[in-house]
Structure 1
Amino acid sequence: MAITDLPDSSDLPVAWHVSTRSGNGGGNCVEAGPVLDGSARYAVRDSKDRTGPTLVYPATAWAAFLTDLHTGRFDFSA
């Protein structure tokens, strides 16, 4: 999975969305969204540090991550 770490997300045009699992700002806050440059990439960042590093994923890797997430692959509560 190719990941690009960008030092400043303010230069990247992204339609950011705060995760519904982030609650009301209690610590584990994540934002993600499509990069609006026609590249079909998706970006992820810490919503508490919006000028910090941003991880950028190709569309195929992002889709695979979402599939794994929805099927419970990352559910370690058991």
Structure 2
Amino acid sequence: MSRTPDLSRAEWVKSSYSEGNGGNCLEWAPAFAASGVVPVRDSKAPHGPALAFETAAWSAFIGGVKDGELSI
């Protein structure tokens, strides 16, 4: 069984943490989170690839960012 979601009809939402100057723009498809997957893509390349993370892994990543455990 494939866990790769069909994103052809996904409704994408820009992250509230994305910069408004045209750079570092991340979008995600929240409707998929209930199925255990969080699709993420670069808003500057809407027809490009998307990454799909398990919900728990994505939550851990976001928690690390908020706690300052990760830096660029």
How does the TM-score come out when normalised to structure 1? 0.66
Q: Name segments (4+ residues, structure 1) moved above 6 Å.
A: none
The structure carrying a bigger strand percent of its residues is 1
Long gaps (5+) in structure 1? none
Does residue 30 (structure 1) correspond to residue 26 (structure 2)? The answer is yes
Measured after TM superposition, the shift of residue 25 of structure 1 is 4.1
* Aligned AA (2:49): P
Is structure 2 residue 66 aligned with structure 1 residue 70?
yes
Q: Among the aligned pairs, what percent are the same residue? A: 35
What is the CA–CA distance in structure 1 between the aligned matches of 2:59 and 2:31, rounded to whole Å?
A: 14
Alignment-mate amino acid for residue 35 of structure 2: S
TM-score, normalised on structure 2? 0.71
- Equivalents in 2 of 1:27, 1:65: separation in Å? 20
The aligned runs of 1:4-19 (5 Å cut-off) are 10-11=7-8, 13-19=9-15
RMSD, matched Cα:
2.6
- Flag the structure with more relative contact order, 1 or 2, with Cα contacts below 8 A and sequence separation at least 6: 1
